[in-house]
Structures are given as C-alpha cells and as structure tokens.
Amino acid sequence: MVSQPIARVVVDIALDREFDYRIPTALLGAVHVGARVSVPFGRRAVQGYVVGLADHSSQPPEKLKEIGEVVGKKPLLSDKILELARWMARYYCCPVESAVRCALPVVVRKAKVSWKERQFARLGQISPAEFAALLKKARKQAHIIEILRREEEMLVADLVQRADTDAATVKRLAEKGFVVVTDRVQERDPFGGEVFLPTEPLPLTDEQQKALDLCKAAMDRPDKPVLIRGVTGSGKTEVYLQAIEHCLRQGRDAIVLVPEISLTPQTVERFRARFPKEQITVLHSHLSEGERHDQWHKIRNGESHIVIGARSAVFAPVQALGLIVVDEEHENSYKQDETPRYNARDLAVVRGKLEQAAVVLGSATPSLESFYNAQRGRYALATLSRRIDNQKMPVIRVVDMRQEAIRAKGLYVLSARLRDAIQARLDKREQVILFLNRRGYATHCFCAKCGYVATCSQCSVSLVYHRKEEKLSCHFCGHHEPTPKICPNPACRDPAIRYSGIGTEKVEAAIQKVFPAARVQRMDSDVMTRKSLYREILGAFRVGKIDILVGTQMIAKGLHFPNVTLVGIIHADMALHLPDFRAGERTFQLLVQVAGRAGRGDVEGEVIVQSFTPFHPAIQYARHHDYLGFYEQEIELREQLRYPPATRMVCLMFRGRNDTKVAFYADALAKELKKHVGRDVLMGEPSPAPLAKIHNYYRYQLILRAEKILRLTETLANILPTVKPPEDVTVHVDVDPLSLL
C-alpha cells in the first residue's frame, strides 16, 4: 500500500473505470474534487477529472504516475454534479466518464473557446477650447467627440464605422485623454439586442394559487416533486414565473427545462419580460460555441440565477439550486438517444433530491409514469382544470376519413369539413394551424406495374419523396437520391412511377391549390435552415402576415396565438398503430396538445381531427379532453400486461454490420442472463427490432421487465462484462426506454 495524496481520475476516454494518480507536492493545494487535470495515459497526455481524493492507493508505487497539471483556476464539476454523475452511471449502466461528458459542454471540456474581449470607448476630459481647436484642425477627431457626447459608451469598432474613420484616429484621441478606451469582456448573448416589454405578475385563479402554494411549500420542504396537470391555456407558465420569483427572493437559483430547442425563444421572451435580462441564461445545442462558453461560465460564476434550456440544462452549474421546472414533462425529447440514455425529467427529480431543491413537473397530458407516481402519493398533485379568463376549451370534431375517401373517390388530403372550416376562418380574417407529423411530399415511391418500392440502401425503411428538390430521402440516415423517371427494377423499367402517402409538403401544396389567395407557410425541419428562421416565421404569424401555418411537431406545443381559431389534424392515426405499447398514449398526448393551440383568444376554437380509426379510445378521449378517462383505461391495460409504469423496463439494443453476428451475440447474452434472473423478471427472446436496419447497422433487441429497476440494472452490470461481444457488435442499455422501434 502506498500512503500519499492520491487523486482518483476519470479520463476523457470511454473507459468504465477510475485511475489513481499521485498528487505532486507542487499541486497539493490545487487539486480538488471536480478539477480538470492533465494526466499521462500510456504514451500521451490526456484530460481527466478528479472524482475523489484519498491518502493511499491499492496500486503498487511503481505503477502510479503523477498528475501533470491542473487545467483552469476553479473545478468544473461541483460535488453534487459528480454525485449525480455517479447515480447516472449506476442507474443507466454507463461509465462515470460518459455521465461526466453529459454534464460538461464540449466547448467547456476542450477549452477551445475563451472570453471575447472588445474595446469600448467613452468620452474623456476635453475643454471647450480643446474641442474648438479640433473643429479647426481635425474634423474627424471632433466628429468622434460629438458622437461620444450623445452616447454613454460604445464599441470602438462601431464608433469607427459611424464616424467613417479608423482605429488610429481613436487611439490619438485616447493618447490626449479626450477619449477613454477600455478592454472588457463582451458577453455573446444569443438574445442580445432584443427588446422585451416588461410584464407584471398576473392575478391567479384559485387553482393557480393552490398550485403556487404547493410549489412554495416544496421549496421550503422539498420532500417530493410537484406535478401540475393543467389543461392547455390554464396558465401553468404564470405559476412557474411566480414560483421562480419566490425562489429568487430566497436567494436561490432556478432551472427551467423545455422539451424542444424551438420552444426556448418564446420561453425566454416570457421570462425576460418578467425578470432582469442579466439574471437569465440559455443553454441548448443550437448556440454557437462562443455563446455556449459564455452562458455556461456566467452560470458557474454565479452571475445568472435563472437557466432556461433543453435537456442538457439539467446539468447547469448553478450555485444555489432552489427550483427545477420541467415544462411539458411528458415529452420524449427529454430522453437522450445516445449513451447514456438518460431522461432529463428523471434526472431533475434526482438532482432536486441531492440538492434539496424543489422540482415542479408540468403538462396538460402528463406521462403515465408521472401521474402514476402522483396517484400513489410519491408526487404532490395540483390540477388546473380551466383555461384562464374563462376561455372555453376548443370543440373537437372527428372526421371519418374512410367515408371521406369513398366520397372523394380516393384519399384526399383535406376533408370537405376541414376545407369548409378553413374557408370560414379566412373569410373572418382568423388564422389556421394544420398539423401533420411527417415531412416531405409523399411517403412512398413505387412502380404501379411490378410493385417495386424505393427503399433506403442503408436502412429498412422506404424513401420519402420531396417534390421541391425532386429527390427521395431517408429520414433516418440522411441518404438521398434523384427521383426515378422509370422503374429502377431491371426486369421492369416501366415509366409507371407513382407516389402515395402524405407529408407537410403535400399539405402545403393542397392548401395553395384550394385557397390560392391565402398566405401559407410551412414549418418543418426542411424549411428551418437557419436558427433565426423559427422566430421570424412565428413573428410573422403573430402579427397576421400568415393566414395558414402548416407544420410538424414543432408547432404542436407551447404556442400562444389568440387569433388561431381553427386547428386541423391531417392524419391522427399516424403513430397509433406503431409496434410500441406507448402508441396510444403518444397519440392522445399529441392530439390534446395540438388541439390546445386553438381558441386561446376571445373567439371559441375548433379542432378538426381526420382519422381512419375515429373510434379508437385515444382519439375519443382526446375529443372530450378527458385525461383521467384515458389514464384509467390505459393504466388498467398496462397493469394487465405488466408494462410500465406497472413494471420497470430495460431494452438491450444490439447493433452490428453483420446480421448473423448480431443475432448470435444477442442469443448468447440472453442465455447467460436467463441463468441469473429470477422468476420475478419477465424476459423475452432476442428479435430483430421493428426498424431492423439503420445506418447500415443491423439491430436486435431484448426486453426485460421487473417490479424493481435495480433488480435489472444490477444483474446487467454483473453479466455484461462477462459476455464479450464479437468484433463490430455493440450492445446499448436503455433503462426506461421511451421507444421500442
């Protein structure tokens, strides 16, 4: 045993273990838990993070190397964030290093970007006589003085441009003391330059006040999360705002999670209108590297007290966490697709527990998991059953598209009822939202003669036709190819190429054909080619420059437009029949959320749902805004079939280039697992995933269910290292999976 100061380090390499390093005498006072360090690893130096300190190591002295240097002045990871990373490693069966990577943005880990320093100029000391002399001999210098008399301070670059001069002229004035030039860090603010009209706290309804009281009580004594189930338009955001106000008054900080990056601008708008902009920072993946660097360090330095962001903001390095709000907590986008496959909503609950902070989850359609926890007393429940200002819930009408197809002699994008309703809104100068959660023009390209269907060469899916670019695209791997003029089947070569199915591009074309005078805008990821376009389109829609907005799920939630009186849901069945036990829940949630965009002003809203299975429970419960009815019938079904939340689930996904190797390894691991799991674990057989091939990787899955999640994860942690996969085959552990495709 070696008795000396030791640092336990996770290196920035995908290895599931910690390494001991000696702390050299020169660094004894500088190495702290959470610090970023440079350490020798093999024949190179790598970056790592100190996750623990000890006074001895079990390794022989000759095997221990010394830490090379401490990178940066302050530790990047707090004790609590490290504790959260360790919890993630245990719960999600991933290396601690992977969890640490999640907690630190790449721009922070790699230290590739630093603060941006800019020169600022302000007026110095200049007498009237000195200014008069400049007017005679140096007109450009005098012009600069005139500008600075009107401006308190400005960037030297802006001053040079406005005065139509150069930096040398400013420098000469600074040498005389007429101008003072200072170097200062300029924050790269993603919302810099935008003006937000201030707002005051609104009076609350009785239900809102009860919800706020629960939130305040949770901040005083955070023993359980608060779930707010509030219908669309019921004022959940106002409750969040006033809860955060209470949090700030206590001298503590708040994190607000939103499910989509696209929702961040409008959330920021609401918050910056209520709180000083200096208190608010934003964290999400669409920021530039410089913006992300500045926002993250502003939080860590304690200069910001409200963090708004998508999934990764749950790791924000706030100094004194008092409250985490998870808006639209049911959304799948809180779940990360890559290892570690964490759910930010669940991490928020865990982080709140670790830091004694309140956690507030909000949704009009809570996930069955969250509502199940509330029903069993694990969460406190607040209900907002009415819209504010006595606004009525929109009337939802369901159109049976089977009958419509017969009347229209084939599938038609817009039913007669929807066409008439759109025309009525256009006549009244009201606005319309049309929703379809699929991009492109047509979902299939096929030959009417031989039956050939265009499929992706790398994935087991059909290619989607995009008419504007005249190409076929795979929405999974990005592969695209020109639209064929004749059948690609060598035995056919017939020109009878046809297209079937619908996407947002076809809906847009149909609207433009039926309503040529209407101003139509499509909003999907094909259109959103730059990060400011989302705000520009919504801004145009808000001021009435767009009559009809056609879009995918990015228009399905969080939008508030009082002049929208009609929402059309083009194909309500799209996700209903997928081979996933959550298909009904997702359909119900999406229909209710999209319907909630209608009737948020003085005029009652209407929603028209087009469906080929109009009597499905998910559609009928959504039609009546009946969350409790849907929950009760769905939870009964889940309990009978032993699916979450009645049980806990883990999905093992096997991937590899060789189908046979993947199947062989999946079978081998399943056989080994069967030896160690008891009768309380429900374990299926390995089988090809519904999407059997993606990105040229074959995919098999194995699903395990049990009453206790640790029963599964502990078994996997013990068995996985003992059954090594063949070369080019990997297994990914997905705890609490949200998709089984």
pLDDT in tens, 14-63: 777 889 999 998 898 889 999 999 999 988 999 899 998 988 888 888 78
User: Is residue 2 scored above 50 in pLDDT?
Assistant: no
For residue 631 the two structure tokens come to 């929950």
pLDDT of residue 142: 87
DSSP track, 335-371: B-SSSS--BHHHHHHHHHHHTT-EEEEEESS--HHHH
Give the whole-angstrom CA distance, residue 335 versus residue 343: 4
Q: Which residues have C-beta within 8 Å of that of residue 470, sequence separation ≥ 6?
A: 482, 483
Q: Of all residues in the chain, what percent carry a pLDDT higher than 70?
A: 95
User: Is residue 156 scored above 60 in pLDDT?
Assistant: yes
DSSP track, 510-547: HHHHH-TTS-EEEESTTT--STTHHHHHHHHHHTTS-S
pLDDT of residue 60: 84
User: Is residue 191 scored above 70 in pLDDT?
Assistant: no
DSSP symbol at 658: -
pLDDT in tens, 691-734: 999 999 999 999 999 999 988 998 999 999 999 999 899 999 99
Angle at which helices 96-103 and 79-91 cross, to 10°:
130
pLDDT in tens, 40-54: 998 899 989 999 898
Give the whole-angstrom CA distance, residue 736 versus residue 345: 12
User: Is residue 117 scored above 80 in pLDDT?
Assistant: no
122: amino acid identity, one letter = R
User: Is residue 379 scored above 50 in pLDDT?
Assistant: yes
Q: Minimum mean pLDDT among 178-187, 253-262, 347-356: which range?
A: 178-187
Q: Please, which pLDDT band fits residue 1 given cuts at 50, 70 and 90?
A: very low
Q: Please, which pLDDT band fits residue 160 given cuts at 50, 70 and 90?
A: confident
pLDDT in tens, 272-284: 889 987 888 988 7
Q: Minimum mean pLDDT among 71-75, 113-117, 355-359, 588-592: which range?
A: 113-117
Burial class (CB within 10 angstroms; exposed 0-12, middle 13-18, buried 19+) of 327: buried
Q: Are 442 and 576 in contact (CB under 8 A)?
A: no
pLDDT in tens, 223-248: 999 999 999 989 999 999 999 999 99
Q: Are 309 and 297 in contact (CB under 8 A)?
A: no
Q: Are 503 and 439 in contact (CB under 8 A)?
A: yes
Q: Please, which pLDDT band fits residue 197 given cuts at 50, 70 and 90?
A: low
Q: Residue 267: name the closest of 232, 223, 217, 308 by CA.
A: 308
0.85 cut: is pTM over it? yes
Give the whole-angstrom CA distance, residue 229 versus residue 150: 52
Q: Please, which pLDDT band fits residue 405 given cuts at 50, 70 and 90?
A: confident
- Asked if omega into 340 is within 30° of 0 (cis), the reply is yes
pLDDT in tens, 455-471: 999 999 999 999 999 99
Q: Please, which pLDDT band fits residue 377 given cuts at 50, 70 and 90?
A: very high
pLDDT of residue 194: 62
359: amino acid identity, one letter = V
User: Is residue 659 scored above 90 in pLDDT?
Assistant: yes
Mean pLDDT of 338-364: 97
pLDDT of residue 106: 78
